[in-house]
Amino acid sequence: MTFFGTALRRRPLLLLGALGLAVCLALVAEVAARSVVAGRMADGAERRLKVRPEIRFGTSPVLLHLAEGGFPEVGVSGHDATFGDFSGISFDARLSDVERRDDGVSVRRSSVRADVGADALGADAGAVVEADPGAGVLVAHAGPGGLVRIPLTPALDGTRIELRPGEPTFDGTALPPLLADRVTEQAARTIPLTGLPLDLRPRSLSVTEDGLRLQLTGGPARFAV
């Protein structure tokens, strides 16, 4: 075997090795870029939500989108977040057309599903609250042994949630009118939904097995990272 024959046989191996090294370096750079960008976005979101969220970019290369200056879609999710007067919220958000700016990040539109647990609602109201999705109401239990039962119908009124009390009962029996009026007056509650991140606005509200579910959407917005 001649020297040239050996060299020719080694050349494909060298090319494959170089290609493999290039792929490994590209993968390392992609993983590093995802980590850095996700970390900066999480930092910015944490300042508003009081919890560090998970950031998702999908399967498309982050390095490519960084070169283009933005991302077609970014997913953001987390638990125990704070939205306005709500706390203990689980949420899943989709941010569309996310672009880098000198002062942070811009988003063309966003959609968010936010779940508020009955426990969190009860802690805020100082009562035990259960959800009854079949009837579309929350049920607050108060008084000795929680025997006073107050149905609360949630409703959206512009940029606020109203919890409208129905007829309270004690151990299944209607309360006297004067006492019932006092109980319902104390149970009525209005929760503002202003000053939310990404200029979000509520679109729908429903009762789930665990509490309340809000669907929100937002238009063009910016936030610092």
Per-residue pLDDT for 14 more than 80?
Answer: no
Per-residue pLDDT for 8 more than 80?
Answer: no
Per-residue pLDDT for 146 more than 50?
Answer: yes
Taking the whole predicted model, whether its pTM rises above 0.85 is answered as no
Mean pLDDT over 12-31 rounds to 51
- Confidence label for 88 from pLDDT (cuts 50, 70 and 90): confident
Place of tokens 């805020």: 124
Interacting residues of 110 by C-beta distance below 8 A, sequence separation 6+: 93, 94, 95, 96, 198, 200, 217, 218, 221
Neighbours of 127 (CB within 10 A): 19
What pLDDT score was predicted for residue 90? 93
| Nearest by Cα to 90 from 76, 74, 103, 104 | 76
Q: What is the rounded average pLDDT for all residues in the chain?
A: 80
* Better pLDDT: 119 or 68: 119
- Share of residues in the chain with pLDDT > 90 (%): 36
- Residue 194 phi/psi, 5-degree rounding, is -105, 160
Place of tokens 């944490």: 46
